[in-house]
Structure formats: structure tokens, C-alpha cells
Amino acid sequence: MNHLNFRPSVIGRHVAAALGALVLAGCSSLAPQYERSTESVTAPQWPVSANQPAAADGAVPAAQLPWRDFYTEPRLQQVIATALAHNRDLRLAALNIERARAQYRIQRAGLLPEVGASGGQSAQRVPASVSGTGDSMISRSYSAQVGISSYEIDVFGRIRDLQEQALQTYLASEETRRATQISLIGEVAGAYLTLAADLDLQRVAQQTLASRQDSYELQTERAEVGTASELEMRQAEGELEDARAQVLTIEQQLLLDRNALELLTGSPLPDALLPEPGSLLRLLPVQNIPVGLPADLLQNRPDIRAAERTLVGAHANIGAARAAFFPSISLTGTLGRASGDLEGLFGSGGGLGWTFVPQINLPIFTGGRLQAQLDTAEVDREIALTQYEKSIQVAFREVADVLAQRSVVDRQLATQQRRVDATSATSELVDLRYEGGVSSYLEVLDAQRNLFAAQQAQIQAELAQQASLVTLYKVLGGGWSVQDQQSADAAAQARADVRAASASVLDARQLWQRQ
């Protein structure tokens, strides 16, 4: 009589070979292929009104400049560095990355079997009335085993698609953190410029206050000797109080500016890091910034890249929803020993046992649940596509708006400078005419008001010019240093982890075959 050979090594070899074949078969995916298409939302050129000068040979586009190379003023650099270290919004973005990375690792673990070990002991007492010997008996048994628990073979790529979706979510969170950093740097720089501008306004207001104080004292002395009327004295007094009110208003605004800046930095700022009065135009280099091509935005803007990652993840979700219509195959197996006494469990008194339970599940009737899940995944893809296209449109609009602003701010500043020169000369001439008795004191007051307003407008024009540089740098996607360019490396590393995990299964199969 022939007997089949069921030696564990032979059985294990065949089981492992089958497992490896199924793992190799599980490389297919039912997800639709993603292809970038932005023809309907991209523009071939920037608006003509931008009037941007040609970049010099070898010039680095603004978006590729690390923020320390763009913001070169030492105090401003320290303030930005403080914000990057302590800002709560940036901290939340970093925590979201950690959460997405953990979720990705959870999905990645589904590609590998879960191996566990267990041991047990059982005891049973048989009463004398039912025992064959007429005496009560106590029997004991011991067991130890190691096994795989419900390992799903990813034949149709469902687990891989879920893993891909988790990977894209993780990478999107990386891009979101970059976008948060770019926005934070821009907000800090803008707040710092506003503080510098208000310090200049305070300086001008204090100079105006001192001038009107002198004028009021002069009119008071003249009124006492009868060379000026009480009306002129009261007019000088009113202008003095108006200047004093302006100074107080600016002082209040400076406190608000500092509070806003410290909220962004996440910590109090020492006075040594505040801008010096009169330093507004020195905080940023006024130069021609290479803008680059419109298509560069797709690579430079983290918000666009994050939206694209979400879109790719939505494609993967469709693959997982499609795979749910097909059979799923899972394996459960154990290998262990059993003995009637603990000493013999791993000795000659123990016996070797195994179980192998392949299982296939085929959905037959789900009440439309699977189709609804697929419909939801497809709608989610359309939503992600629409959001991606919108992010591109918004980016182009933002850049076009800033370029349009940049085309006129320099001329506006030059115009305001000429206005200050003209009103300053007018004020001096009116003073001379008033001293000569030709002009009235009302003309003097009007000239002083016009000069003060022109000086304020000039400072606002300087702020607009500098702020447009900050905004242009931000909307082009600049603001993260070379050390932060890790998204592509993170993606490559994540994919390498998956390949290593799959390779470990195949290596285990080959090792089992050699035994």
C-alpha cells in the first residue's frame, strides 16, 4: 500500500511557493492611470501688463531662492527664524505630517503577513464513575505554535491602492506644511515691513508735532505783543493738538503691530530685533526678480502640489473600490508542537502539528454598497480634479495681480517723492511769504498739512513697493530653504520601504525552499 509523504518541509515548500506566486500576482492595480493635464487652466505667458524685465544669464528664479538669500537683513532673518521655530500653525502642520506618516505605515503593514506565536496548557479531570479504570483521572496537555493570521493576498491590488492613497495623503501633508511655511514667512516679513513703515510714520508725526509746537509758541508770543491775532493763535493750537493726536494714534498702531508680529513668531521679541526707524527701504533688496515661466508654478507652489497629491490618491481610491467587486483570498496557517507534559513539549515526547486554511470570499449581494462606494470614489476624484484646477487658476491669478502691481509701484514711489519735494518747497516759500506779510497764516497751515500728508503717502508707497516684493516671492512659491526640499526624497524612501517589504516575503519563500 502506497502512502503519501506529508513531511512538513515538503508541505511548507509548496505552500510558500504558492504564497510567493500569489504575492507576485498581486502587483496589478485596477486604479485608473493618472496623467497630468493642465491645458485648460494654464496660461502660455504672463500678462503683458506685468512688464517684467528679462532675467540675467544664470539668474536664479525667485521661487528657487532660499528665504535667507531673499531676506538678507540680519534682524529680519532672526525674526523669521524665530517664527519658524515657535509658530503654532507650523507646528500643527508638522504634527499633521506625523499623523499622515503613521497612517501610511498602517496601510503599508497590510502588505505583509502578521506572524504571531502562542502557547497554552489545558487540564481535564475525569470522574471515577465514567473512567474506564474506575479511578478518577487528570489529563494535561501543552502546546506551542507560531502562525499567520488571515493574511490577504493582494491579487487585485486593493491593499496596494489603499497604501498608495495613504502615501499620497502623507506627501500632500508635506506639501501643506511647505505652503504653511511659505505663508508664514510672507506674513512675518509683511508684518515686519508694516512695523518699519509705522516707525517711519511715527518719526514724521513727531517731527510735525515738534514743528507745530514751535509754531504755536511763536503765535502765542506774537499774540501777546499784538503782532498776531487770537484767531491765528487758536488755529496754531488746533493744529498742535491734531499733530499730538496723530502721534498717539501711531503709537497705538505700533503696539498692535508688535503684538501681531509676536503672535506670528510665537514668542516675545526683544527690542534689538525690531526694525530701525528709516530702514524700510533697506529691509529688502529692490531689484529685478526673475519670475520664470508660468509652467514653473506647477512645480514651485506647494498648494498646487498638495492638490495634485490628493488627486493621485483619489485615483488610487477608485482602484480599491473596484477591487472590492472581486474575490479576496486570505491565508491562515499555524505550525506547532503538542505534548502531554511540559518537559516533552520541545523534546522527543512532543509531536509536530500544522494547519493551513486558505479562504476565498466572493461578494454576491451587498445591496448596492460596493457600487455606492465606487460611485463615491469617482465623485471624490472629480472633486479633487476640480480643486486641483482651481488651485492652478488661483495661483496664476495671484501672480498676475502682483506682477500688475509691480509694474506701477516704482512709478508711484517716484511720483510721491516728487510730491514731497514740491510740497516741502511750497511750505518753505509760504513761510517766507508769511514772514514778509504777503501770505496769511491759513496758507501756512494748508502748506504744513499738505507736506505732512505727502510724507505719509511717500511712506505708504515705500511700504507698497517692499510688500509687493514679499508677495511676489510668496505667490511664486518661494520661502522654503534647501534643507526643506525633502518631499521627493520622502516619496522615494516610502516607495523603497514598500519594495523592501515585498522583497522580504520573497526572501522568506526562498529560504523555506532551501530547507
Q: Read off the pLDDT of each residue in 479-489 and give the average, rounded to a whole number.
A: 52
- Residue 432 belongs to what H/E stretch? helix 369-435
| Secondary structure element (H or E) that encloses residue 227, with its range | none
Can you read off the three cell numbers belonging to residue 397? 491669478
> For residue 119, which amino acid is it?
G
Q: Which comes out higher in pLDDT, residue 419 or 159?
A: 419
| Residues 114-120, mean pLDDT to the nearest whole number | 82
Q: Would you say the C-alpha torsion 152, 158, 161, 165 has a positive or negative sign?
A: negative
In tens, the pLDDT along 363-375 reads 998 899 999 999 9
Range in 35-44, 144-153, 329-338, 414-423 the model is least confident about? 35-44
DSSP bridge pairs for 115 = 148
pLDDT at 490: 53
> Do residues 321 and 29 touch, judged by C-beta distance below 8 A?
no
**293, 298, 304, 308 alpha-carbon torsion, rounded to 10°:** 160
Buried b (16+ CB within 10 A) or exposed e, 232-242: bbebbeebbee
Contact at 8 Å (CB) between 30 and 323?
yes
Q: What is the mean pLDDT of the chain?
A: 81
**Between 414 and 96, residue with greater pLDDT:** 414
Q: Tell me the C-alpha distance between 73 and 276, whole Å.
A: 11
Residue 57's φ and ψ, nearest 5 degrees, are: -60, 130
Taking only the tens place, the pLDDT of each residue in 393-404 is 899 889 889 988
Higher pLDDT, 408 or 291: 408
**Nearest alpha-carbon partner for 433 in 207, 211, 235, 442:** 442
Task: Look up cell 493763535; give the residue.
Answer: 233
Find, among 166, 163, 135, the residue nearest to 26 by Cα.
Answer: 163
pLDDT tens across 291-303, in order?
A: 777 777 777 889 9
Q: What separation in angstroms does the CA of 31 have from each of 108, 132, 225, 316, 324?
A: 17, 65, 96, 5, 12
Of 360, 284, 353, give the one whose Cα is nearest residue 327: 360
* Helices of type H across 266-325: 297-300, 302-323
pLDDT of residue 88: 86
Query: How are the residues of the chain apportioned to helix, strand and coil, as percentages rounded to the nearest 5?
Result: 65, 10, 25
**Distance (Å, rounded) from C-alpha 30 to C-alpha 317?**
10
Domain boundaries, the chain: 8-39+55-123+137-392+481-514
Q: What is the mean pLDDT of residues 41-46?
A: 60
pLDDT of residue 339: 67
Query: Can you tell me whether residue 479 is helix, strand or coil?
Result: coil
Question: Which residues are CB-contacts of 109 (< 8 A; sequence separation ≥ 6)?
Answer: none
- The letter for the amino acid at 263 is L
Which residues, other chains included, contact 375 with Cβ-Cβ below 8 Å and sequence gap of 6+? none
Identify the CATH class of 8-39+55-123+137-392+481-514.
Answer: mainly alpha
- pLDDT confidence of residue 483: 46
Whole-model pTM: value is 0.79
Percentage with pLDDT > 90 across the chain: 37
Find the angle CA(298)-CA(301)-CA(306) to the nearest 5 degrees: 85
- For residue 332, the surrounding DSSP H or E stretch is strand 328-339
Q: What is the pLDDT of residues 459-481, one digit of tens each?
A: 999 999 999 999 999 998 887 64
> What does residue 115 show for φ and ψ, rounded to 5 degrees?
-105, 130
> Which residue in the block uniquely carries the three cell numbers 466572493?
362
Q: Which residues pair with 338 in a beta bridge?
A: 143, 351
Question: What would you measure as the largest C-alpha separation in the chain, in angstroms?
Answer: 144
pLDDT at 12: 46
How confident is the model at residue 466, as a pLDDT?
93
How far is the C-alpha of 141 from the C-alpha of 383, rounded, in Å?
A: 60
Buried b (16+ CB within 10 A) or exposed e, 353-384: eeebeeeeeeeeeeeeeeeebbeebbebbeeb
| % of the chain at pLDDT higher than 70 | 79
Q: How far is CA 47 from the centre of its chain?
A: 28
